[in-house]
Structure 1
Amino acid sequence: MSTNVLKTLIGAAAATAATGIATLVMASREIRQFELKQVTAPVLDLGTFADPQDSFHILHVSDLHMLDSQKLKQKWVAALNNLDFDLVINTGDNLGEARGVPGVLQALDPLLNHPGVFVFGSNDYFGPKPVNPLIYLQGKKRKPSGEKLPWEGMRAAFIEHGWNDATHQHVEFSIPPRPDGMWERSEKFNVSIAGVDDPHHDLDDFNAIAGGPHPDADLAIGLTHSPEPYILDKFAAEGYQLVLAGHTHGGQLCLPGSRTIVTNCGIDRARAKGLSRWTERMWLHVSNGLGNSKFVPFRTFCRPSATLIHVVERGNTEDYHQF
């Protein structure tokens, strides 16, 4: 082999290695580049508000996968309290390790002072385990680990502060009109919510919430950690207007343009993140999530995020907006 050819091969190998290292550095940094996303969901009946341009605001958080050491994430999530919203919804996978509960409560503490509803995911119950990236990218379903996490105390703290557990039960409450004029209404805003346990690991029991939302609800919401299509179809058939989910991490390891490679569940890639229409009457919002497994500390073209959902009347916008 000539000297020139050898130099060329060595140079190419060095360039490839440098590119790989740069990609890993970028992907590692991205897990700490938190974003607030906002979407507008036209799901309410006409006449819900005195002013059809008004909206009901939901803060959707999911997939914290909290580690005790993640102080930056805890501060960023706590600062979401500075936003203007009427309801907090948490769709699970709060824990990233057994020591993560104090970090979760530190992050969510200000948000617990607002009306809130939650369901859990499998990573609230069981700790993460190392995963072969090739298996992940093939989208193969993995069994949970045998490490049990202290979710009971976290759940008790949520409930003690006033949040409602919607797992296999209906949650119905009314929110009075905002004194600052966020939305105008002579009566309270009635919300009907029902949720299931994580269907990705067959923990769901939809029969427990069969029967549909309360008929007087202004807004009917379904909750599931994993957006499995058969669960979404059931919520749609029961008359829910909006379903919120997490689990996918938006794809986590995406191509440029935030193009999802795998969803890690039955949902199609186009719906792995953000707002989409599931049926003519029901919309779906899937959170990018705010964390990742400690064994896969990378994100590419898919920054961690929370979402502020502006729920508005149908017809006051030609289409939904994501920004």
Structure 2
Amino acid sequence: MLTHPAAKTAATALGAAAAVGVGAVAWGSLVERNRYLVRHEVLPILEPGARPLTVLHLADLHLAPWQEEKQEWVRSLADYEPDLVINTGDNLGHEDAYDALEYTLAPFSSAPGVFVNGSNDYVGPSFKNPMRYFTGPSKHPKTSVVLDTPRMERYFENDLGWLSLNNTARAMTIKGSRLEFFGVNDAHRGWDKLGTLPGVIEDMRENVEWPPGLGGQESVSIGVTHAPYQRVLNSFVNNGANVIFAGHTHGGQVRLPGLPALVTNCDIPRDQAQGLSVWHNARRAAYLNVSAGIGTSIYAPFRFACRPEAVVVTLTASDFSYS
């Protein structure tokens, strides 16, 4: 029996589409999710004459113990000799990832750092229908593995010397610059306490003892959150943040080349779900750096047109010139 030419054409088109689909899945699951990159940004927000500061922004490791390539790549970032590490949470991707996480972050023990937690620092990952992300931020599973968050925090604070910013404010000096930090616990789970933020910031400012010679210098204020919900970003701007660091979105994780993120898993505009932008609120503004993150859930090990990243941000003096 002869086949109609139109039927042959349709069959050929379907076959080609299927091949493209299989190729895209193979690329996203086997190649792109392991094509780590370092994004570089420069922000002129320090006092005139200040020495530059190298900030390493780590987000969304979602680390599992067998992910050796990821561990070695993160360790290699110590070659940038960061003056400050900012960790925006979701470090753990498996209930047995503690030793792997400690090994991965050990090279940064000589660098001061700050951190906030994401929900996956408290509970283990679970399978979610990816299509539900198009209906709004993900829901929280009723049953999940409870992780040893205190162990992770003890390592961060006692071994690495990092400061927790979970609903609190801290301060430090680096290379002669006064830095103020404030942050919140995971806003995706509603654990942010924005109502207490002005009080803890004021308490920090009243009690901090700056080194001699820095009394007349203006401080640089840095806001840190895991999930960049608009209420958090607005609060940070209102409280004087010069720059905000966030993760959580995975940059959309699956994107169409040249277009904004398809989903954000929060209420941030899709065109600000990855990269450096400016967040405006109430006639104020702050730089906003949202990382696409380094990992993915072990139940969704796939990226497309959205490579995993760490971000190196160079803070320079406000008299910095690009000429």
Asked if these proteins are the same fold (TM beyond 0.5), I'd say yes
Moved more, 123-132 or 63-72: 123-132
2:41 aligned partner = 39
Query: Mapping of 1:221-236 within 5 angstroms?
Result: 221-236=222-237
Equivalent in 131, 134, 139 of residue 137 of structure 1: 134
Distance 1:44 1:167, change over 3 A: same
Whether the aligned pair in 2 keeps the contact of 1:43 and 1:282 (CA below 8 Å) is: no
Q: What letter is aligned with 1:163?
A: W
**Residues 173-206 of structure 1, C-alpha deviations (whole Å, 9 max, x = no match):** 222x3xxxxxxxxxx2221111110011101112
* Superposed displacement of residue 132, structure 1: 1.2
Distance 1:318 1:227, change over 3 A: farther
Q: Distance in 2 between matches of 1:166 and 1:20?
A: 43
**SS state at 1:31 partner:** helix
* Superposed displacement of residue 268, structure 1: 0.3
Does residue 305 of the first structure (1) align with residue 309 of the second (2)? yes
Q: What letter is aligned with 1:147?
A: V
Q: Distance in 2 between matches of 1:48 and 1:315?
A: 7
* Superposed displacement of residue 317, structure 1: 4.4
Distance 1:124 1:41, change over 3 A: same
Q: What letter is aligned with 2:151?
A: G
1:25 aligned partner = 26
1:99 aligned partner = 96
Whether the aligned pair in 2 keeps the contact of 1:35 and 1:306 (CA below 8 Å) is: yes
Distance 1:86 1:217, change over 3 A: farther
Distance 1:173 1:243, change over 3 A: same
Q: Distance in 2 between matches of 1:135 and 1:243?
A: 28
**SS state at 1:262 partner:** coil
| Aligned alpha-carbon RMSD (Å) | 2.0
**Residues 83-124 of structure 1, C-alpha deviations (whole Å, 9 max, x = no match):** 032100100000111011212111111013210110000111
Query: Mapping of 1:55-134 within 5 angstroms?
Result: 55-134=52-131
* Superposed displacement of residue 209, structure 1: 2.8
Q: What letter is aligned with 1:3?
A: T
Q: What letter is aligned with 1:274?
A: G
**SS state at 2:132 partner:** helix
2:212 aligned partner = none
TM-score (norm 2): 0.88
**SS state at 2:289 partner:** strand
Does residue 189 of the first structure (1) align with residue 193 of the second (2)? no
Whether the aligned pair in 1 keeps the contact of 2:137 and 2:264 (CA below 8 Å) is: no
Q: What letter is aligned with 2:298?
A: K
| 5+ long unaligned stretches in structure 2 | 207-216
1:172 aligned partner = 171
2:211 aligned partner = none
Query: Mapping of 1:141-160 within 5 angstroms?
Result: 141-144=138-141, 145-160=143-158
**SS state at 1:312 partner:** strand
Q: Distance in 1 between matches of 2:21 and 2:241?
A: 45
Distance 1:243 1:4, change over 3 A: same
Q: Distance in 1 between matches of 2:133 and 2:69?
A: 27
Identical pairs, percent: 36
Whether the aligned pair in 2 keeps the contact of 1:273 and 1:285 (CA below 8 Å) is: yes
* Superposed displacement of residue 48, structure 1: 4.9
1:290 aligned partner = 294
* Superposed displacement of residue 316, structure 1: 2.8
Whether the aligned pair in 1 keeps the contact of 2:56 and 2:82 (CA below 8 Å) is: yes
**SS state at 2:66 partner:** coil
**Residues 133-182 of structure 1, C-alpha deviations (whole Å, 9 max, x = no match):** 2112333431145321122111111111211111122211222x3xxxxx
1:253 aligned partner = 254
* Superposed displacement of residue 258, structure 1: 5.8
Q: What letter is aligned with 1:38?
A: H
Q: What letter is aligned with 1:167?
A: N
**Length, aligned pairs only:** 303
